[in-house]
Amino acid sequence: MDSKSKIQLFFLTTLFLFTLTFVNAQTLGTYIVQLHPHGTTSSAFTSKLKWHLSFIQQTLSSDEDPSSRLLYSYRSAMDGFAAQLSESEVEYLKNLPDVISIRPDRMLQIQTTYSYKFLGLNPARENGWYQSGFGRGTIIGVLDTGVWPESPSFNDQGMPPVPKKWKGICQAGKAFNSSNCNRKLIGARYFTKGHSSVSPFRIPEYLSPRDSSGHGTHTSSTAGGVPVPLASVFGYASGVARGMAPGAHIAVYKVCWFNGCYNSDIMAAMDVAIRDGVDILSLSLGGFSTPLYDDSIAIGSFRAMEHGISVICAAGNNGPTAMSVANEAPWIATIGASTLDRTFPAIVHMGNGQRLYGESMYPLNHPMSKGKELELVYLSEGDTESQFCLRGSLPRDKVKGKMVVCDRGVNGRAEKGQVVKEAGGVAMILTNTEINLGEDSVDVHVLPASLVGFDEAVTLKDYINSTRRPLARIEFGGTVIGKSRAPAVARFSARGPSYTNPSILKPDVIAPGVNIIAAWPQNLGPTGLPEDSRRVNFSVMSGTSMACPHVSGIAALVRSAHPGWSPAAIKSAIMTTAEATDHTGRPILDESQPAGVFDMGAGHVNPQRALNPGLVYDIRPDDYIIHLCSLGYTRSEIFSITHRNVSCNAVMKMNRGFSLNYPSFSVIFKDGERRKMFRRRLTNVGSANSIYSVEVMAPEGVKVIVKPKRLVFKQVNQSLTYRVWFISRKRVKRGDGLVTYAEGNLTWVHSQNGFNRVRSPVAVTWKSK
């Protein structure tokens, strides 16, 4: 190579490295920039949008259009914008006046024919549905994966007109136009900018409010679907499908796509939903515990709460791990999951005569459902991928014509069945691991299959190892109601205490979330797998994602019955009337043990009683600010959440001994503390001249003193205050690092009618450094 060529090569290499370095330095990420709502620089601009663009403009070279970087301009859920920025631009923006915080965009994940009867709602009786007008006039906004508008659950026959206050739209897009909305589904929008800036759409997906995955259709119909007679999934769970608030209107905000849900899109949807005029926001999505000032859902929901909107969120599916609960802001209703007393038996008959209980929704009318005896195979030697039946892991020569045992985990339950089918297997037994124990989330499998618990799995594998040619057949038993104890806490339901704010007991309540039947898109098979060519109007899902819309619908019923109530009053009504016992009158179980307050919060929802709670613990928006001060949050952190500029020193001086007027108690004794005092304020929403007396079940190791012991309400809407002292009788050694717990409850009982029992769970924690 001559010297000229070497010089040219050196120059090109140097230029390439310089360009690569420059491009990497300028790599763009999506950031949410929060601004001061009354910023000093805003007055120079005629609109919020122009003000927001001016910040981007300051970071760019003169020839670049700032609107090319802007994703969203927020003005209701918070003041600020989402934009694509480089790290150097972020650093520059941080130093500009009126910039409060800059957060990188984060991805979150999405977390019935019978459940309304299980919860005591019966259209044949003069009960809660009639008292609340079935939720008429209330608008439920659902942030999820969109909606399948043709589902019979969204038929508007008999629905009242769209409320005059509604300002939303029916946004057109792929396979979706304004005619897809009606008096039931009154609005639909979709939000892609946050997702597409990070993860371009590679999988065919509807760029519209239309649902591609089924999750959003399922949750929307659970909250407010109209009655659909003769609903079933291939003959299972047949009956009339109804949402919790069948008279309510639904507005859908599609924020979740195949890869997940991005905070910038979620914030944009909340921002618009507040202006659209929703009454309830239902979010069956979330991640892990996050400080409130860094949590977009917490920030957006604070603004929603200030506008009188109840925000209901899923607690998450990371149970049974302690401190796994998400969406734990005190102004959010955080919902865990419970079971129903409806089962779908699929008994495994082993060749040695033993029977193992399992469950499945494999179609009863399919020729393969008759239970032919087959050879069993469990590929447990060497390759763990085969144990889990991952794609490509099952050798055809070993599974063809056989019943394959697959361990739960790694890939989806129904996907394992598809893997078995593609490898030539003809049936499957899905075995719970020690993590799942007896949890029984069923699926509409693509081949004959049964899910068995962990104990049954051990027995099954022992049998397989004990004989040269193990055999089994599956007997499908249809739908069985009322034979099992319920409700119980779902194994996967996220647990407290709250990691970021243990002074508030979370989750708030539990609601049905296991094997819930609800509406399903017509472009998907009931498993949601692309290979599943079957088509149904309803399918089954499990998760706190399913529990959340149950409570969203119940909140709509309460709001319709009491339109003047605040979000805190509605949440109080749902919490203080929740049940701590199951339908047999015994304590709600978590596996084989009585459930604790960190598992179920105040207990299992009871919509009938929630409509007539007698008393409520109301909370004003300003009270939450005092609460944040009491937690030691800084001025800027509180401003990020509330958009209020406060001096916590002054606030706490004016509110000595403050405790948030929450419907539950979380008492924390740190480093030898012996005494804690809480003030609470109850408002009479029942009848005039009502007298309530207190009943206390003291936590072990704690003395509880309540003053006064009697509350006499002369008028409706009158508020009275009481104080409660928790005195520790337990001596905790300093320096042992132990954390111990106890629990009890405090209940105000109506002295005359006995019906109104206003119960608050009590959690006590002893912490030693």
- DSSP H stretches of helix in 249-345: 263-276, 296-306
Q: Report whether 588 contacts 486 (CB < 8 A).
A: no
225 — alpha (psi -120 to 50), left (phi > 0) or beta?
A: beta
Q: Report whether 130 contacts 240 (CB < 8 A).
A: no
Asked whether the bond before 229 is cis by omega within 30 degrees of 0, the reply is: no
Spatial neighbors of 409 by CB under 8 A, at least 6 apart, are 388, 433, 435
Please choose, from the candidates 557, 551, 570, the residue with its C-alpha nearest in 3D space to the C-alpha of residue 219: 551
Spatial distance between the Cα atoms of 293 and 302, rounded to a whole number of angstroms: 11
Question: In the structure encoding, which two tokens stand for residue 300, read together?
Answer: 């957006």
Of 238, 282, 441, 545, the active-site residue reads: 545
Q: Report whether 601 contacts 572 (CB < 8 A).
A: no
Please choose, from the candidates 413, 425, 442, 418, the residue with its C-alpha nearest in 3D space to the C-alpha of residue 345: 442
Of 195, 215, 249, 627, the active-site residue reads: 215
Of 144, 341, 443, 618, the active-site residue reads: 144
Spatial distance between the Cα atoms of 94 and 410, rounded to a whole number of angstroms: 41
Spatial neighbors of 654 by CB under 8 A, at least 6 apart, are none
Q: Is 719 helix (H, G, I), strand (E, B) or coil?
A: strand
Question: In the structure encoding, which two tokens stand for residue 285, read together?
Answer: 């999505």
Spatial distance between the Cα atoms of 713 and 40, rounded to a whole number of angstroms: 48
2 catalytically annotated: no
Q: Is 707 helix (H, G, I), strand (E, B) or coil?
A: strand
144 catalytically annotated: yes
Please choose, from the candidates 82, 89, 75, 67, the residue with its C-alpha nearest in 3D space to the C-alpha of residue 36: 75
Spatial distance between the Cα atoms of 613 and 558, rounded to a whole number of angstroms: 10
Assign 3-class secondary structure to 388-404: CCCCCCCCHHHHCCCEE
Query: Per 3-state DSSP, what percentage of the chain is helix, strand, and coil (rounded to 5)?
Result: 25, 30, 45
Please choose, from the candidates 576, 768, 569, 595, the residue with its C-alpha nearest in 3D space to the C-alpha of residue 685: 569
> Read out DSSP for 655-718?
TTT-----SSEEEEEETT--EEEEEEEEEE-S-SSEEEEEEEEPPTTEEEEEE-SEEEE-STT-
296 catalytically annotated: no
Q: Is 53 helix (H, G, I), strand (E, B) or coil?
A: helix
**Catalytic positions, please?**
144, 215, 545
